[in-house]
Structure 1
């Protein structure tokens, strides 16, 4: 029996609109159900996406759902991209109060409508919002996935690539972990290129693979704000990261990527969402990997989790 792959998107600003476009260009969804409280903006995006269908691989049904969040109940995946990008112009924590307030306008309505799919959260602070969705809905936390440091890990690999003479980033296995924010850290100890540790490569081929880890880590950590400084938003890369997670779910790939998931005792952390490498498939997060971290890296991860908790403690629902 044929099944319809349906993806809902809440928030059709810069990021939500680009997620929709990425899903169309990759042929990932048979149906898009789109929500936004700005009627004119939503109508404009629906029109533009419809006009582009001829140039995408498959026809897709695109539905304007306005703010009728209950109409997302039959979706396989709901992507939350609702927020106020201007508030995060200098720090992802800047959206803390507005995005959590926005989330309260729809999360329980979606859950009450009978939604049984998977949440993919983009909205910042990503880990806080993912934790809030869990608390508001009582949903199975393995079926709530934050994009988390998926994008930050891509930025880290891109910077390592540049530092190592343009080695293909796809050949690099390295992750940013912890918060999707300035407290995130690079897990250098387990990082490899082609299965060989970076530390070994730096010893054997220093002319190519010895580089300043702190500098590269900071470039990755601050990469989004290079884009922010020039165009007041980030859109292409985060939309691509979200689409990658959607693809892993819809295709049941069991793909391993950094993502924000509920901590259930990893490194002694629990009760909050934070990023570690996750196995992602049709049921959401299937497994979470604990990396072999140095003492400094482990301390950095705990510090990052502490910052997530500090943000949560600022909210009235906690």
Structure 2
């Protein structure tokens, strides 16, 4: 990474704007290049100008100065960035169906991926747009970039939701809990209960030693983690804070070369007998993107759930002719 950290954002809706704000407040970026998607539905240029103005007005209260660039729909300007966050979506289309944004986001992504690639982008993509795994696969195929340089936020967010649920029922802090939702960032995701631990001690062992505290309804807690986004959406017709912070955590891992381990969407290359699609497993994230994929010892039931999740991603890829 260069001395001056440059981050690009495509799509300045609820999530994109919160990504920019979180990057500023955490001191992750020195320059932020913001673009909007071309759309005949409404004038997005005014929204972009408004967000840039509002963010600029906040700088006096922030840790350090950040150069803010309104790039309109000139996507080629983002080629100079270290990381580009794709937040170009329309959450209202997924209000009922987790795959509701499928055609909108994949069609939209085609309008900027190749332009940025042809302009010489050699950094790392972080994809938020849903269906996350499908769009991440599309970014890889359309750009021709090393697939390890494409990261989907995937179940990083869902894993955080699972930790939050487990924190509430046990009283332990989320940072002391190791727990992953794996597979698709969507309805087919699943909790890897066989690998949950508290302070390094397996849940299975704790359930035997302290049944009154650790014998809970796994399916119910898993459902709460899976449906957390819809609880948020039901109240304010969007999700914004958590997913933006998940993306920023990945950006920080890249620009700081952290070798940070998190669940996120990456290209499968034979893990559990699957390959050729993006889906979430625990990954080591650093300057080059996904440096290593960690395969866990999953139970037979969890393996079945993983294969079913992969099958659903492939179905969506076939629907959009990306496969």
Relative to the length of structure 1, the TM-score reads: 0.98
The match for 2:103 among 97, 120, 129 is: 97
Residue 209 of structure 1 and its aligned partner are, at CA, apart by 1.4
CA contact (8 A) 1:80 1:119 kept: yes
Residue 288 of structure 1 and its aligned partner are, at CA, apart by 0.3
Tell me: CA distance 1:2–1:150, structure 2 relative to 1, closer, same or farther (3 Å): closer
**Any gaps of 5 or more consecutive residues in structure 2?**
38-43
Name the structure 2 match of 1:25.
Answer: 25
Aligned residues between the structures: 317
- Counterpart check, 1:220 vs 2:244: no
**2:173, 2:293 → 1: CA distance?**
26
- Counterpart check, 1:243 vs 2:248: yes
- Counterpart check, 1:57 vs 2:63: yes
CA contact (8 A) 1:90 1:225 kept: no
- Counterpart check, 1:36 vs 2:32: no
CA RMSD of aligned residues (A): 1.0
Q: Deviations over 1:104-149 (max 9, x none)?
A: 0000000000001000000000000000011111110000000000
- Counterpart check, 1:271 vs 2:276: yes
Residue 316 of structure 1 and its aligned partner are, at CA, apart by 3.0
**1:224, 1:4 → 2: CA distance?**
34
**2:172, 2:96 → 1: CA distance?**
31
Name the structure 2 match of 1:125.
Answer: 131
**2:245, 2:210 → 1: CA distance?**
33
Name the structure 1 match of 2:308.
Answer: 303
Greater than 2 Å deviation, 4+ residue runs? none
The match for 1:262 among 264, 267, 273 is: 267
Residue 92 of structure 1 and its aligned partner are, at CA, apart by 2.4
CA contact (8 A) 1:6 1:32 kept: yes
Residue 2 of structure 1 and its aligned partner are, at CA, apart by 7.1
- Counterpart check, 1:316 vs 2:321: yes
**1:212, 1:157 → 2: CA distance?**
15
**Any gaps of 5 or more consecutive residues in structure 1?**
none
The correspondence of residues 111-122 of structure 1 with structure 2, limited to 5 A, is: 111-122=117-128
Relative to the length of structure 2, the TM-score reads: 0.97
